[in-house]
Amino acid sequence: MPRPTALPDEPTVLVSTYLEPGLVERIATELSVEVLYDPALLPTPRYGNDHGGVRPELSADEEQRWLDLLARADVAFDFDWRAPEQMWANAPRLVWVQATSAGIGGFVKRYGLDGGEVVLTTAAGTHARMLAEFALAGVLHFVKDVPRLKAHQGERRWERHVSGQLAGRRATVVGLGSIGRQVVETFTALGMRVTGVGREGSTYEVPPGTQVVTTARLDEVLPTSDVLVLAIPLTDETDGMIDAGRVAALPAGAIVVNVARGQVVDEAALTEGLRSGRLGGAALDVFEVEPLPAESPLWDMDTVLVSPHSASTAATENEVLVDLFVENFRRLRDGRPLVNRYHADRGY
């Protein structure tokens, strides 16, 4: 039986990740739909807005209940946590999945979900302000020499010194999606000279005075980048984009911020640049291996700010995700283009 391509008159929504009861009720009420939601069958969140969580051990009866919910779903709020690679087979009525993450390319490729059977939309844009704030905090952490301030405070040591200044520094932001554009806007407002690096053939709305170049010119701008911010999705083209040669091309004292994925940068080369003192600092929310192994030298470096892939997690994240879901549901029902539609050929 072919998979449906449009919503039925009375669609059923499966919420396959933990949401606060009030938000589940909001989906049901605002969209006038039946919502399938059983938190006992879902991973338990470890912190607010956790969409990974601690996976439950389901009994045979519970597994069957979960499969029954999947079989009834026309729409899903997030992927199947239990067996994502079987989601299309287990949910034959499924038309659309709204992801809770902005970067789903690696996930859908790993589990064979990028064949175009079901419309996918990402959470791109919902984390832009949070990640831009983290990028700013990370850069200021090193420009204002917060590690030295904290060390001196611990020693009760009063020693005046000259502080660094953000305004006038040159920043390169690689990736001009919603996150990258928010970083560009934030840095520009504080007087930095910003270059954005985007895809060939694309146009971007950026603040006046922002230089925009394509990835083909990345090597030209790296040697003048006091700050390098990585805000690109992980695709075949971006995997390893900032290799050892490009790390070495950064000027002495450069600060690196990664809010993309750990795999876009050569972590060993970055670590060596920091260990040698050639680079000024790194604010990292993502790593090649997560959780970051205890033996990683990055943990012990004063020139590294380690964030456990949590920079995008705001207290209001679930509310924002539900806002996006409601908007996209209405668009799908009305036959209008969806926000953040995933394109398998691009990987985002």
309 belongs to the catalytic site: yes
> DSSP assignment of 124-148, as one string?
TTTTHHHHHHHHHHHHHHHHTTHHH
- CA dist list (Å): 59 to 46, 87, 302, 342: 22, 19, 47, 34
CB 224 within 8 A of CB 217: no
Query: For the chain, how far is it from start to end, CA to CA, in angstroms?
Result: 29
Q: Which of 30, 34, 63, 290 is catalytic?
A: 290
Please count the other Cβ atoms lying within 10 Å of the Cβ belonging to residue 79: 23
220 belongs to the catalytic site: no
Q: Which of 129, 261, 267, 317 is catalytic?
A: 261
Joined tokens for residue 319? 């509310």
- CA dist list (Å): 43 to 21, 49, 336: 15, 12, 33
CB 210 within 8 A of CB 189: no
CA distance 63 to 82: 9
Report residue 319: phi and psi, to 5°.
Answer: -65, -40
CB 39 within 8 A of CB 18: yes
Q: Which of 141, 193, 199, 309 is catalytic?
A: 309
CA distance 345 to 273: 34
Report residue 320: phi and psi, to 5°.
Answer: -65, -40
261 belongs to the catalytic site: yes
3-state class (DSSP) for residue 30? helix
List, by residue number, the catalytic residues: 261, 290, 309
